[in-house]
Amino acid sequence: MIGPKVIQALAEVKEVIWEHRRVVAAEPPVISQHSSDCHDHARCSDDWYAVWWNGMGRFLLDGRNPLEYEEALQRFEKLEFGEMGAGCKESMLSLVKDPSVLVQATRCVSVAGDRLAETLIPHVALD
């Protein structure tokens, strides 16, 4: 039987993960340096933002079928990226494929698990 502490912890973790998902969906990584094949930096940045919001944002926040990050990323890679240079596209895709993108959500789950373990598992003195 699940007690109230576990239910509360699960609800808090779920809320943190959804908040993180909304931030990731709405705030694409910034193109800090354009590649040499990029002919129009402003247009490239605009297209990156548009494809991120209309792709990853939609995939992650879909009200009927929100996708997990990995599946959203697989679908995102198949989209058209407008006038982005191939180098810029590859650079940004490698950035968002980095597992550290999800480190905040992973850390939240780990911390919640540790707190629950400390609360629910009695400590035994080893004297």
Residue range 53-62, pLDDT digits in tens: 999 999 999 9
The span from the first CA to the last CA of the chain, in angstroms, equals 32
pLDDT for the residue 45: 95
pLDDT for the residue 91: 92
Task: Give the CA dihedral 34, 38, 40, 45, nearest 10 degrees.
Answer: -50
pLDDT for the residue 101: 66
Handedness of CA 34, 40, 46, 48 (dihedral sign): negative
Question: Which residue stretches of the chain have pLDDT < 70?
Answer: 1-2, 101-106, 108, 120, 122-127
Handedness of CA 31, 84, 73, 18 (dihedral sign): positive
Q: Which residue blocks in the chain are alpha helix, DSSP H?
A: 4-26, 41-51, 58-61, 69-77, 86-96, 103-120
pLDDT for the residue 88: 94
pLDDT for the residue 20: 83
Q: What is the pTM of this model?
A: 0.76
